[in-house]
Structure 1
């Protein structure tokens, strides 16, 4: 299929001031603001998704735990050196001995070795986890991209494009960062808490009990802050999606917005969305930021209590000086991972919100499954028949009522009628962008639902009023109609479409690069390029949607000649508002309110003096 419409969804609605509204189609914007609906369920899905990488993650767990263990035993061994140093100093003061530097040196070497091994294990687990997080990001974006191609058009009619973009970028990035930075830290922190607790008990059960008294206080703060912050992280992701959607729309319609002086309204809406994002982001970040100071304050209370108790026990000769030094280190090591876990709990809230949005998108209803035994035609004749077709974008609002028409092979069929009559809707049904509610559409006596969508759409070529060209050379934009075409075939199509007549006047000719908006060539030149694309595709059925309405009269002559070449021997559907351009059509279907109210040739319909004659004559009346 030669598709040259950038978006086949209805355009975002614009108001009188040129402002593009916050929704794209009838469904409007998805409103956020709710808290993550199923934290446990979402995390379960995320764990299931990560099960593919269970070997790598298991290695990360082992290395992270080993790194923590080697760090944990350090203070205990270092305490022995402190004790030996203290005993040596006291013996030297008493004149009964000297400091055993050989023993202390041995301890220091052991400690250095343990810390080096710990750092090495930490580096390896970080390296592996970075690879896993990048693979997860890649696969999620790949799945979302593939999902977009499988989703029905009505989803994009009712969803802001920025919402989808936000899920592909911001939400996936959040998941990636959590996996890369937080997963290893969770394992390290849990291992450190358990290991340190064991070492503390081995030194002094009483001092451990005093240190643990601070734990319930810490947990109360963690639970309170986590509950408060959860909903704000969800709102932050939602409002970020809304803001992205608004910015995307404003850049897409920048010229229209400027032309109608819509800057103020655009800025006001941006400020409104940005203020909402600022509000929830500030709250979520504030709650996250106060977590660590609160935890440090509570930890310092335990730290002071342990120091006082340790001094008292040392004075009673119940505990060695080195053990006090080791225990104080362990107290600090014990509160730090708890603080990290508290901070990670907030990150997990944001991760859950992002994962929920990604999984929601991946779980969206897809297009109707293809036929199990699809129809394969060796040659497409181009016979088309509509039989009692009923259709509505919403089931309770049918806009096409009992549409029936029979088009023979090679006929030029014009579809005319006032705005909103259902002309473009019929084309969307013909190409299965939507499925009919009732009735049947046949191609060569085969129900179109019996074809795969790919095979069906390959039968069609499209030339639309809104041209779509992308940031590449003119040669590659024409080749988009058939990707395996040679340069000679592309140039032959360009000559048939009268592109060759102007392309040599452009810088670099066929190799000229079109900019992102294709604004470095004229509207008429763009239209001729899309016609060349359709000629190259060599389709059996053509769809021409008001392809000459936005060009000057001289260019229109070239386009009409190019379209005449294109329509030779092909069944063609021409959607037209200027009725003077379709006088030579074999069949004219006159639509109004979703129904065919008249059909016949131009001459027959004028003689009939009905709705078509009224439309035709009104154009010339207004012209006078």
Structure 2
């Protein structure tokens, strides 16, 4: 049952591959026609060689005129074959890499369409491995298939036709033995597919670990985890070695096995051919041609057996990529969803419940009403649901129950693009793309004037260090701005949000990497920017949210207290303990 299911899956994968190939079928047709022509000419040469041999009757009995004529035809045929093979390779390469490019484009597009729940629950390296490594392996197998598979099939059919014109009896002997090659190749290939599939999966795990360790290199070294990381890598690497060795070993058996059978074919042709020459049923030239044909007939079986092995690997890699492409996309916006250009900022959270994992409660029956222009601070211990609430406001995740309304409209009835454009968001984790500083900080408002850009840059305290750079605002930075300190990167992210001039603000530990003195100055800029705008501020430093209109104190996904700073301090409850623990060292 499993074998039948596996075979059906392989057929489905091949169908999907051919859907991509269909776009470039002109290259396929040209390749097939040229393969047919080059194979026929290649097979015609042994016949010409046999005729040339027959023109040599013995000493001083050579028909030089006939021999030179044949040599001329052979040279012309060889030139045509060479040009044809060059064009075949060109077409196959174009078709293969166009197909792989389209698959990679679809996979990358899928990343943009996937819900964050998938991205959050899968190692980034594993996703990268599918798009980069698996696609490369798939390309290699596909290219070999196009290059050798079609020409091999045409060679087998063409050789049979030519052999039948020379001697039917010996042809029957050849055909009777060669099916063994297919049986051997098929027997081995069925067992190698699953091995290559497992190899691809483990390779993804390995890439994921490498990616994770490179990104977290400072943490690994700081906590002296080198040995533990090496041990984890060794375990995965050993598993990959074992699976790769098994897959390679079993797949490599195919070629020598088919070569052995082909040698039997060649031996059979030699014996029966020699007997035919002795009995006068064949000429020496015909035997020469037949031996050449038998060799050419069996050669494609070796190539096809190798191709089948590579194709098994390619199909396993394709299965991994297609499984990724076919993952569920983010729920699309409703057809009648609205796209406001501006929001007043009236936000109502109506009895929502949410959990990342089914059965593990996080936020339960949560209510909140925020008037336009209010500053809402969210505080609480780690894991209490602060950032989760931000994810729900931005609709990175959808609530399991209840509704979130902006200006009286359920956010599910607003397009995600317009909802997210309505927020300016600064996260604790900074993000900068490779490009100029100007492109990074004006991303949310590319049309901002030079004067306004520099004005905001000065407010955010980035103008001074940018002016010291070689090309100032046109300096190209690396991905994530590794040449800057964490604080400088965060200041640039803050500047980017201030330049976008959003309707509402979300600050998730926005000043966590900035020194206290600069934070005080930035806070003044934030206060000016948040004036008249609804804003949500997630903070651990409680000193930064003392002036908030509403302070939500969260614990275990619930609001345990709500009010302004003075009201909460008078209650001497959870917030009071948090605040006092930061400034007086009192234990909670």
Give a deviation string over 1:68-114, Cα, whole Å, max 9, x none: 112112211221111111x2x16x4xxxxx31111111111112222
TM-score normalised to the size of structure 2?
A: 0.95
SS at match of 1:520: coil
SS at match of 1:622: coil
Report what 2:15 is aligned to: 44
Give a deviation string over 1:523-571, Cα, whole Å, max 9, x none: 3222221111001111111111112233322222233233223322211
SS at match of 2:395: coil
Identify which range, 571-580 or 612-621, moves more after superposition: 612-621
How far did 1:511 drift? 3.6
How far did 1:591 drift? 1.3
Within 2, Cα distance between the matches of 1:569 and 1:277?
Answer: 58
One of 201, 218, 223 as aligned partner of 1:238: 201
Q: How does 1:183-198 map to 2 (within 5 A)?
A: 183-198=146-161
Give a deviation string over 1:370-393, Cα, whole Å, max 9, x none: 110221324321111111111111
Report what 2:501 is aligned to: 538
One of 32, 38, 41 as aligned partner of 1:61: 32
Q: Which has the higher contact order (CA 8 A, sep 6+)?
A: 1
Give a deviation string over 1:39-70, Cα, whole Å, max 9, x none: 12211221223222223312221221222112
Report what 2:417 is aligned to: 454
Within 1, Cα distance between the matches of 2:391 and 2:88?
Answer: 52
Say if 1:246 and 1:425 are closer, same or farther in 2 by CA, change over 3 A: same
Report what 2:309 is aligned to: 346
Q: Is the 8 A contact 1:528 1:562 kept in 2?
A: no
One of 279, 288, 294 as aligned partner of 1:325: 288
How far did 1:602 drift? 1.1
Q: Is the 8 A contact 1:35 1:230 kept in 2?
A: no
Q: How does 1:604-615 map to 2 (within 5 A)?
A: 604-615=567-578
Give a deviation string over 1:272-311, Cα, whole Å, max 9, x none: 1111111121222223333222222221122122112211
Report what 2:54 is aligned to: 83
Identify which range, 433-442 or 281-290, moves more after superposition: 281-290
In the comparison of the two structures, how many residue pairs are matched? 583
How far did 1:621 drift? 3.5
How far did 1:506 drift? 4.6
How far did 1:133 drift? 1.5
How far did 1:253 drift? 0.1
One of 83, 105, 108 as aligned partner of 1:145: 108
Give a deviation string over 1:388-433, Cα, whole Å, max 9, x none: 1111112332311111111111111001111111110010001110
One of 65, 73, 96 as aligned partner of 1:102: 65
How far did 1:486 drift? 4.3
How far did 1:481 drift? 2.7
How far did 1:505 drift? 4.1
TM-score normalised to the size of structure 1?
A: 0.90
SS at match of 1:308: helix
Say if 1:488 and 1:285 are closer, same or farther in 2 by CA, change over 3 A: farther
Q: Is the 8 A contact 1:480 1:533 kept in 2?
A: yes
How far did 1:508 drift? 4.2
1:178 matched to 2:149: no
Q: Gaps spanning 5+ residues in structure 1: where? A: 1-33, 93-97
Report what 1:216 is aligned to: 179
Say if 1:74 and 1:484 are closer, same or farther in 2 by CA, change over 3 A: farther
Q: Is the 8 A contact 2:334 2:415 kept in 1?
A: yes
Q: How does 1:278-427 map to 2 (within 5 A)?
A: 278-427=241-390
SS at match of 1:213: helix
1:596 matched to 2:559: yes
Identify which range, 159-168 or 550-559, moves more after superposition: 550-559
One of 427, 430, 434 as aligned partner of 1:471: 434
1:578 matched to 2:549: no
How far did 1:516 drift? 4.0
Within 1, Cα distance between the matches of 2:464 and 2:67?
Answer: 90
Within 1, Cα distance between the matches of 2:473 and 2:340?
Answer: 35
Q: Gaps spanning 5+ residues in structure 2: where? A: none
